[in-house]
A and B are shown apart, each in its own frame.
Chain A
Amino acid sequence: MSVQDLTNAIIDGITAGGEQFLEGTLAAILPAVWLALLGLHLGRPYILEMIDRFTLRLGADLLWLVYIAVRDLLIVSGVVMSFMFFFPDVVVTDALPLTGGLAAVCLFAVLLVKLMGDPDHNLRDFRLVTYLLGLGAVFYFVPYLFGVQFSSIAPASFAGVSNFLVTNTNPNWAIGIGYASTALLAILGAVAAAYVLRTGGRAEAQDTAAQDTAGTI
């Protein structure tokens, strides 16, 4: 082996290892992001109770703003980090949850509802967001727990199901679901762009509670 061969081998190791490390880190952080955003969404009544106890309007406003900023940024981060589910090569190579792409679509749909509706003041929109988050969590956590994490220790009777739920052991379904998710995401993205172009970036939804305090339903 020459010096150049060894150099090339190390370079390949650095780049391939670095890529896998990055994808592995994203895959490892995503469950935490999902849990945090679900916790924040479902913890809304607790925040509203706290807001009611504030004697100073400034504190109440800041708590509410920080709450919605963290909650919505986590949803945006979830969509951004889920982008690897739309890349066929990544899906075929890495062990990822089979329906992770559909979970990302659910998250993006939540953002679309927040854009076009008013889930913090409209009960119908709030329910829709909750259902979408629930569906997305099922799409993410079921294949993650029973596939990605369980496949290596699954007994023979469950091994088939477990392998089915992991992308690199079920590449045909993974690619199909990946393309379906990409198409859905493109449609939702087009709807968002059309809405923003039509409204010119203004808040068009009816201000149903102009007199409300933050977060009342």
Chain B
Amino acid sequence: MKPDDIATAITQALVQGGSQWLVATIVAFLPAMWTMTLILHLGRPYVIRTLRRCGLRLGADIWWMSYLLMRDAVLLITFAMSFIFFQPSIVANSALPITGPLAALCLLIALAVKLSRRADDDVQAYRIVTAFLVVGATLYYGPLVFAVEAASQTYLAGFGQAFTSNSNVGPALVIMWISLVGVGIVAIWLFIRALVSANRTMAQRIKPPQKQAPVLGD
């Protein structure tokens, strides 16, 4: 083998291996992101309890703002990272949880509920968000722990084969396309809602102030 061949092999390996490494890193970090999402969402009563003990408004505001920013940013980043579940080639070639796309859809619905209702003031909305997050986490963790990360366990071989995307490609792609349609519907709804809301609020702002009727005697 000539030096040029080795250089070509290393270049190809860095390009292909780099993309595989990126996907593998996202897959490796997703459980951590899901766990953070759940813990931060479920930890709200503790955060409020701490908030109530703050003697000054400033401390309470900083505490609440930090919590909200972290909780919602983690939720959003987890959904963004879950987008690998909607790429057919990755779903077909990499070992991913087969219900990962449905878990991502649940995350997006939770985000949509947060956007459309005041989940921090409306108990019912908070419960809906919690339910979607718990269902999404179950759909993610179940196949991950007992299928994708249990390939060495012979007694789980059947479950592992059924719930890993690259060993059960047909159903995996069907689940992916169905979830993608769901994501599309939710995204379109969010888009229309944002437009309608912007039109309404901005129209009020642009509207010229009504002239006051002249007072008698002016």
Instruction: Write the residues of chain A forming the contact surface with B, with a CB cutoff of 8 angstroms.
Output: 1, 3-4, 6-8, 10-11, 13-15, 18-19, 22, 57-58, 60-62, 65, 68-69, 72, 76, 79-81, 83, 86-90, 92-93, 111, 114-115, 118, 120-121, 175, 182, 189, 192-193, 195-197, 199-205, 207, 209-210, 212-214
**The 9 A-B residue pairs with the shortest CB-CB distance in the complex, in nearest-first order:** A200-B123, A10-B13, A61-B59, A87-B149, A14-B17, A6-B9, A11-B17, A203-B49, A203-B48
List, sorted by A's number, 13 A–B pairs whose CB atoms are closer than 8 Å.
A8-B13, A61-B55, A61-B58, A83-B32, A88-B152, A89-B150, A90-B149, A121-B53, A192-B42, A193-B134, A196-B130, A203-B49, A210-B52
Query: Which residues of B, 1-24, contact A by the 8 Å Cβ criterion?
Result: 1, 5-6, 8-10, 12-14, 16-18, 20-21, 24
Q: Is B25 an interface residue (CB 8 A)?
A: yes
Q: Is the interface of B mostly helix, strand, loop or mixed?
A: helix
Query: Does A115 lie within 8 Å of B16, measured CB to CB?
Result: no
Which of the residues A19, A196, A209 comes within 8 Å of B28, measured between beta carbons? A19
Q: Is the interface of A mostly helix, strand, loop or mixed?
A: helix
Min CB gap A128→B, angstroms: 15
* A-B contact number at CB 8 A: 158
Min CB gap A212→B, angstroms: 7
Query: Does A3 lie within 8 Å of B153, measured CB to CB?
Result: no
Query: Does A10 lie within 8 Å of B48, measured CB to CB?
Result: no
1/0 contact string of B95-112 vs chain A (CB within 8 Å): 000000000000000000
Query: Does A83 lie within 8 Å of B31, measured CB to CB?
Result: yes
Query: Does B28 lie within 8 Å of A111, measured CB to CB?
Result: no
> Which residues of B lie under 8 Å from residue A79 when comparing CB positions?
35, 39
> Which residues of A lie under 8 Å from residue B150 when comparing CB positions?
87-89
Query: Does B9 lie within 8 Å of A76, measured CB to CB?
Result: no
> Which residues of A lie under 8 Å from residue B8 when comparing CB positions?
3
> Which residues of A lie under 8 Å from residue B213 when comparing CB positions?
none
Query: Does A7 lie within 8 Å of B44, measured CB to CB?
Result: no
CB-based nearest A residue for B60: A61
Query: Does A76 lie within 8 Å of B45, measured CB to CB?
Result: no
Query: Does B54 lie within 8 Å of A201, measured CB to CB?
Result: no
> Which residues of B lie under 8 Å from residue A86 when comparing CB positions?
145, 149
Min CB gap B152→A, angstroms: 5
Question: How far, in whole Å, are A76 and B47 apart by their CA atoms in the complex?
Answer: 14
